[in-house]
Amino acid sequence: MANILITGANGFIGSRLAATMPVGSTARLNGKDEVVERLVLVDHVVTDSVAGPDGAEWVEGDLGALVAAQPDLFSNADSVFHLASATSGECEAELDLGINANLLAGLALGRCLASAAQRPLLVFSSTLAIYGGTPEAPLPPVVDDTTHPTPQNSYGSQKLMLEAFFADLSRRGLITARSLRLMTVSVRPGRPNGAASSFLSGMIREPLQGENANVPVGPELRVVLNSPDGAVAGLRHAAAALDDVWGGPRGVNLPGISVTVGEMASALAAVGGADVAARLSWERDETIERIVTSWPAEVASARATSIGFAADKQFIEAVRDFAATVNGG
């Protein structure tokens, strides 16, 4: 029987992940099929319209404060997916926000889980932004499992510090930690958020919904993305794999989609038509461009493949998936 807890469960990926594990369903965790007995969904804001999967329990509040006030809620879970996070743009704009929401809350969660009687499984949603290049020290053309992490923004730095902390708790035998480095997820529904990469969904989402959208970088910029389905499948597999198969290093780069921004615009035109693609404007934003261009443009995920992670879909398929939701499909 599995007691599962998800932080950031009201977010796009968190809600999709939760929907795959309703109470009474079977979840594969550390190589074993377990019946989900309890599903606790945590987020700092839970709106009245949020239902969640059958049998789920919602808990609303600041993560760090909740861990301090209700430690048993977290330490009683045998599998935890930690997705709660301030975005890259928010962390760059407000240092204290990122420190509190990302670093300190994550440290509190890790210490709480380390005190559990059982050895909980922790799947941490990390980021490709732990890698970063500068003009003086550019990233290699292809980032792989041996590339040294050199984050160039506060968001990536905070995620990397948590990776190291969770890995140390795992080394001590207190938790079983697995840090999954996700790419920017596209196409996300909803409205633009504070992430520097928000435009990578907005440039597809808004035109397909009849709105204009600006692209703040050049069409030649190459980025690495995950589709929504690829991100959720990756998180599920990170929890499912046997620890003997996962191996020693706690972090792994999720396979992604390498595509230029111009190719993304072409996919939009192929799915929505030229009139839809004409809703894009191309006015550069130096702040966003500085952050996004420091991230890897291509990632080799040999280790992820050896653990059993599947390749992501083609980007045009992710555009078709979103267009189907707009058109009622």
Taking only the tens of pLDDT, the chain with its 329 residues reads 999 999 999 999 999 999 999 999 999 999 999 999 999 999 998 876 566 788 999 999 999 999 999 999 999 999 999 999 998 889 999 999 999 999 999 999 999 999 999 999 999 999 999 999 888 889 999 999 899 999 999 999 999 999 999 999 999 999 999 999 999 999 999 888 778 889 999 999 999 999 999 999 999 999 999 999 999 999 999 999 999 999 889 999 999 999 999 999 999 999 999 999 999 999 999 989 988 888 888 999 999 999 999 999 999 999 999 999 987 65
Global confidence as pTM: 0.93
The total of other beta-carbon atoms located within 10 Å of residue 69's CB is: 10
Give the contacts of 295 (CB within 8 A, at least 6 positions apart): 128, 129, 131, 132, 223, 224
Domains 2-183+228-253 and 199-223+257-300+310-326 share a fold: no
Q: Are 215 and 281 in contact (CB under 8 A)?
A: yes
Domain-wise residue ranges, the chain: 2-183+228-253, 199-223+257-300+310-326
Residue 304 three-state SS: helix
Residue 108 three-state SS: helix
Q: Domain 199-223+257-300+310-326, what fold?
A: UDP-galactose 4-epimerase; domain 1 (3.90.25)
Is 131 annotated in the active site? no
Burial, 16: exposed, middle or buried (Cβ in 10 Å; 0-12, 13-18, 19+)? middle
User: In terms of CATH, what superfamily is 2-183+228-253?
Assistant: NAD(P)-binding Rossmann-like Domain (3.40.50.720)
Residue 75 three-state SS: helix
Please identify which of the residues 155, 246, 295, 315 carries the catalytic annotation: 155
